[in-house]
């Protein structure tokens, strides 16, 4: 995101990012999404202070009890505090979402930028590879990758990141193609700037808008995929308070302790919804053409 600051300090024209921020402030839904997202980020950072209990403290005197003053969202089959686990779980979900997207944005960004800038044979080869990857449903691809690497936090991030790389590559390529023939690029080439410098300083900052939008929406789907993997038992393993894993554990007790499945699910929906609201607003704000 550091290049965002670069663009912001660019003297050329009106500051597009301040302009976008102004547009964004007018969008009520996007603001609500942004605020909810900030609350979850706050919870994730200060989990130690917010959670009344540790994520794995077991209280055998209070097993599968409904919500109470001591346990705001009840306890699970090991007498662990569901609220505390959800608070700690927000760390995992947000971390997986952001790291996986950073991973796929960097990988997909480089591939897309090279394909769009160099065009010709390289573009053809890279994009056909991306087409092939897109032909495999991303959840299947992620399952196959986790299957090889084994279930762990890092591997879930790699699997989810890799499986969403092709869509990033496509978006960046399209953006690069659209400005590649601009006069200011020609000027940079004429001055004798290196190709890497042109891509980094001239092209990427101008492609940031679609990348940021895709990244925001990508975090939402990455969180969903990671939760799905854990739910299938292929992601983070049960003792960890990952929301998908909690859902999978709670499913067995749906008759007697429905809060074990309701609470983690609502958390997933809230985070993903806030990201989608914010991402939608961001797209409208950054690209007024798309606004309906």
Partner 1 sequence: MLKFIGKRVLMLIPVLIGVSLIVFTLMQLSPGDPAMIILGAQAAPEDIAILREEMGLNDPLVVQFFRFLLGMFRLDFGTSYKDGMPVLSKLLEALPYTAQLTFSAVLLALIVGIPAGIISATKQYSIFDRIATVAALIGFSTPNFWLSIMLILVFSVNLQWLPVSGTGTILHLVLPSIALGLQSAAVFTRMTRSSMLEVLNMDYIRTARAKGLSERVVILKHALKNALIPVITVVGLQIGLLFGGAILTETVFAWPGVGRLMIDSIRAKDTPVVQGGVIFTASIFVFINLLVDILYAYVDPRVKAQYKS
Provide the binding-site residues for partner 1, judged by CB under 8 A.
Answer: 29, 128-129, 131-133, 135-140, 143-145, 147-148, 150, 220, 224, 227-228, 231-234, 244, 247, 251, 254-255, 258, 261-262, 264-265, 268-269, 272-273, 275-277, 280, 292
Nearer to partner 1, 45 or 140 (CB): 140
Classify the C-alpha dihedral 169-175-179-184 as positive or negative.
negative
Question: How far is Cα 244 from Cα 126, in angstroms, rounded to an integer?
Answer: 34
Nearer to partner 1, 100 or 268 (CB): 268
Nearer to partner 1, 204 or 220 (CB): 220
Shortest Å, Cβ 81 to partner 1: 21
Backbone angles phi, psi at 81, to 5 degrees: -75, 115
Q: Residue 15's CB: how many other CB atoms inside 10 A?
A: 15
Reported as half-sphere exposure (CB side, CA atoms, 13 A), residue 76 has a value of 28
Nearer to partner 1, 198 or 272 (CB): 272
- The H or E element spanning position 227 is helix 204-231
Shortest Å, Cβ 112 to partner 1: 18
Question: How far is Cα 189 from Cα 172, in angstroms, rounded to an integer?
Answer: 20
Shortest Å, Cβ 262 to partner 1: 7
Q: For residue 81, which of 106, 107, 55 has the smallest C-alpha distance?
A: 55
Shortest Å, Cβ 63 to partner 1: 20
Classify the C-alpha dihedral 204-105-282-292 as positive or negative.
positive
Shortest Å, Cβ 148 to partner 1: 5
Shortest Å, Cβ 150 to partner 1: 8
First to last CA, the chain: 28
Nearer to partner 1, 116 or 228 (CB): 228
Nearer to partner 1, 202 or 267 (CB): 267
């Amino acid at each position: 995101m550091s290049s965002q600051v670069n663009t912001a300090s660019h003297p050329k024209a009106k500051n597009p990012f301040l302009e976008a921020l102004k547009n964004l402030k007018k969008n009520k839904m996007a603001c609500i999404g942004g605020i909810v997202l900030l609350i979850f980020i706050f919870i994730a950072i200060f989990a130690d202070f917010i959670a009344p209990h540790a994520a794995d403290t077991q209280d055998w005197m209070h097993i599968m009890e409904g919500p109470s003053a001591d346990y705001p969202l009840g306890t699970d089959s090991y007498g662990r505090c569901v609220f505390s686990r959800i608070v700690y779980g927000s760390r995992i979900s947000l971390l997986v979402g952001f790291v996986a997207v950073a991973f796929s944005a960097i990988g997909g960004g480089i591939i897309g930028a090279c394909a769009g800038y160099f065009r010709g044979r390289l573009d053809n080869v890279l994009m056909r590879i991306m087409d092939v990857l897109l032909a495999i449903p991303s959840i299947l691809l992620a399952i196959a990758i986790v299957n090889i690497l084994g279930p762990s936090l890092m591997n879930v991030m790699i699997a989810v990141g890799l499986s969403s790389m092709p869509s990033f590559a496509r978006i960046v390529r399209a953006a690069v193609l659209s400005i590649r023939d601009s006069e200011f690029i020609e000027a940079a080439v004429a001055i004798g700037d290196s190709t890497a410098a042109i891509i980094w300083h001239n092209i990427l900052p101008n492609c940031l808008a679609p990348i940021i939008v895709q990244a925001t929406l990508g975090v939402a789907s990455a969180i969903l995929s990671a939760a799905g993997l854990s739910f299938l038992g292929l992601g983070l393993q049960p003792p960890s308070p990952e929301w998908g894993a909690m859902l999978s554990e709670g499913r067995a007790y749906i008759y007697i302790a429905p809060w074990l499945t309701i609470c983690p699910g609502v958390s997933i929906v809230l985070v993903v919804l806030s990201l989608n609201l914010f991402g939608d607003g961001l797209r409208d704000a950054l690209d007024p053409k798309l606004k309906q």
